[in-house]
Amino acid sequence: MKSVEIKKDIYWVGAIDWDVRDFHGYSTYKGTTYNAYLILDDKITLIDTVKKEFKSELIHRIREIIPLEKIDYIVVNHVEMDHSGSLPEIIELVKPEKIFCSDMGKKALLAHFHREDWPYQVVKSNDTISLGKRSIKFIETRMLHWPDSMFSYVPEEALLFSNDAFGEHLASTERFDDELSIGELIRHAAKYYANIILLYSRLVKKQLENLEKLNLKIDMIAPDHGVVWRSHVKEILEAYHNWCNNKTEEKALVVYDTMWHSTEMMAKAICDGIEKEGVNVKVFNLEVNHHSDIMTEVLDARAIVLGSPTLNNGLLPTMAGFLNYMKGLKPGTKIGAAFGSYGWSGEAVKIMTQYMKDMKFNILEPGIRFQYVPTHAQLKECVEFGKRIGKAIKEGI
């Protein structure tokens, strides 16, 4: 694929990774892109680079436009290796006048590459540099999602280079949001947010408020993963606003694993009860659903209902892993409930409930548990438990 002009004399020169299927625990079943951008001006500027294994794609696409040696500046918005892995080789070829990064960015670059001799130029929020006809205004976005992260804004083009914010893990030859289904894009953006950005929602909210205060005109957002937003900027900004404010729907998730199908029987009966209250409910068996896909659904769910049998006085490993994963992402206030079968000790419900309390969920107590195989009467109790959950969702408890 060739380089793509996203605005006059501004090009996408990144790389497409069609094959990646796991991104440190995140299921990337649609692959991803590593986006880099080239600005042609009096000072030719490269915005970010790509993962080391894809440096040849970056080099090829730049050379379609100009010789690498003509690049004057490199901007490092984010030091994570999927965006900086090829940086040493690019710097060796380009020999740039300056490398612009945040103060934390310089520290991270030194810690990654141990090169004191690079021409670092540290910038902070609201610093501006001139490229000639255009300029770049820097906006630090610490912990979105690394300490070094920053945005680069080109006011003359109303263009925001947003590094990992507003991105999606999605490999495609299409470079713009209006070339794909907006529904599909928002789903991939939601998955990205739920699994990478969610922990930092308080800071997302602060940064969105900061962008409003700066009164920046934004006609285009160019992230470091996925497509460039040019026709649906309003929609992706609105989606981030909803996600960072924990806006939920009348939706419940029943997430479980089972040993000899008893907990599975309970899960389906609880689902029936929730559904009887007219509430949208989705059921996820941890044996067949990836935790990153479930977290995408957690993003706007109002209730999380967890089920596991007791194993060795604890949880099945899949549930323990999912709870640790979800707890680390701090999904915000939800309604929580727990259930499960057991043989002789029965600690699982108590353990799941405590995890949810630690996450500040509003717990529907007591949880429900039955020994060995539930009877027909006990499954009716599960249906009633589900109805309680459904009512709580509708009442907004």
Residues annotated as part of the active site: 24, 78, 80, 82, 145, 164, 192, 225
Work out the angle at residue 329's Cα, subtended by the Cα atoms of residues 324 and 334, and round it to the nearest 5 degrees.
90
Which amino acid appears at position 216 of this protein?
A: L
Q: Is the dihedral of CA 102, 104, 109, 110 positive or negative?
A: positive
CB 124 within 8 A of CB 103: yes
Q: What are the beta bridge partners of residue 221?
A: 160, 229
Can you point out the beta strands (E) in 242-393?
A: 251-256, 280-285, 303-307, 335-342, 362-363, 368-371
CA distances from 177 to 186, 231, 232 (A): 10, 7, 7
Q: What are the beta bridge partners of residue 251?
A: 280
Tokens of 252: 């419940």
Work out the angle at residue 162's Cα, subtended by the Cα atoms of residues 326 and 52, and round it to the nearest 5 degrees.
80
